[in-house]
Amino acid sequence: MNRVEKSREKYKQLFGNEVTAVNHTDPDFQDILNHFIFGEVSYQGNLDDKKHELITLVVLTVNQMLPQLHAHVSAALNVGLTPVEIKEAVYQCAPYIGFPMTLNAIHEVNDVFISKEISLPLESQKQVDEANRFDKGLAVQMEIFGEVITKMHESAPSNQKHIQEYLSAFCFGDFYTRGGLDLNTRELLTLCIITALGGAEGQVKAHVQGNKNVGNNKLTLISAITHCLPYIGFPRTLNALACVNEVIPEN
């Protein structure tokens, strides 16, 4: 199939026979969009449709593209993602974009779930409590980044140690330990979240190494960043690819 035929097949798989208003008002633009996203990018790399949609969900959440997020929640269900997987992908954004924007995204997800008669709340995926969230978070953090985490805690000035503690207990304890998504997937999504933010190349490099440490190879990282491209543009995409190439050089 050529890219036009591929785009029709992929679009139907994701959205059925839905026709957007842009088809009527700006058909040339819609064709460019469809043929690039669904005829080229969606077939690039080594990720399956479920990973593609998880990445799409987090990138749309980061950039608060809420109408498109609404549409892709349905698409995510259509390719076989569970409601839990969808919710957990959106929750994973919170440490990086904050609570208000994450809540905006949760509202869109819930709106789709309610329309499809998916009962809320979903089964809890929490796996920590107040007594162990720091220790379990620190353990996951160490699994991803290694001994550098110990050094970060030890070297933090006394008036900033709480930030390192928040990272371990909140970011990694409250979120990374949750069920619904495995560690490799959460770390890959985090790389995409930070890539979509832009201006966080230091953190992108750290999470490139983190992805490598948990078993996501360079092809997987390039595939994920490529999938971000239509939603974030070339500048942020090229910056992220430069980080990948710096941390994991060719050959």
Residue range 145-190, pLDDT digits in tens:
999 999 999 999 999 999 999 999 999 999 999 999 999 999 999 9
Distance CA 233, CA 2 (A): 24
- The sign one gets for the Cα dihedral 59, 61, 64, 68 is positive
Map out the domains of the chain as residue ranges.
127-177
What pLDDT is attached to residue 22?
Answer: 86
pLDDT tier, 1 (very low <50, low <70, confident <90, very high otherwise): confident
Query: What is the pTM (predicted TM-score) of this model?
Result: 0.96
At 185, list the tokens.
Answer: 């997937």
What pLDDT is attached to residue 19?
Answer: 81
- Mean pLDDT over 64-84 rounds to 98
Nearest C-alpha neighbor of 136 from the set 170, 161, 163: 170
Distance CA 101, CA 63 (A): 9
Write the pLDDT tens digit of every residue in 84-106.
Answer: 999 999 999 999 999 999 999 99
Distance CA 209, CA 9 (A): 36
Write the pLDDT tens digit of every residue in 32-62.
Answer: 999 999 999 999 999 999 999 999 999 999 9
Distance CA 250, CA 142 (A): 26
Q: How many CA atoms lie within 13 A of 120 on its CB side?
A: 13
What pLDDT is attached to residue 62?
Answer: 98
At 75, list the tokens.
Answer: 């698409």
What pLDDT is attached to residue 139?
Answer: 97
Mean pLDDT of the chain: 97
Taking residue 138's Cβ as centre, other Cβ atoms within 10 Å add up to: 20
CA-based angle 148:152:157, to the nearest 5?
Answer: 165
At 93, list the tokens.
Answer: 């954004």
What pLDDT is attached to residue 36?
Answer: 98
What residue type is 102 in one-letter code?
T
What pLDDT is attached to residue 18?
Answer: 81
Helix (H/G/I), strand (E/B), else coil: 215: coil
For residues 122 and 83, is the Cβ–Cβ distance under 8 A? Answer: yes
For residues 201 and 243, is the Cβ–Cβ distance under 8 A? Answer: yes
Distance CA 2, CA 23 (A): 21
For residues 184 and 215, is the Cβ–Cβ distance under 8 A? Answer: yes
What pLDDT is attached to residue 251?
Answer: 79
Angle between helices 218-232 and 234-247 (to 10 degrees): 170
What pLDDT is attached to residue 21?
Answer: 79
Distance CA 137, CA 176 (A): 7
Write the pLDDT tens digit of every residue in 201-236.
Answer: 999 999 999 999 999 999 999 999 999 999 999 999
Contacts of 23 (CB under 8 A, 6+ apart): 30
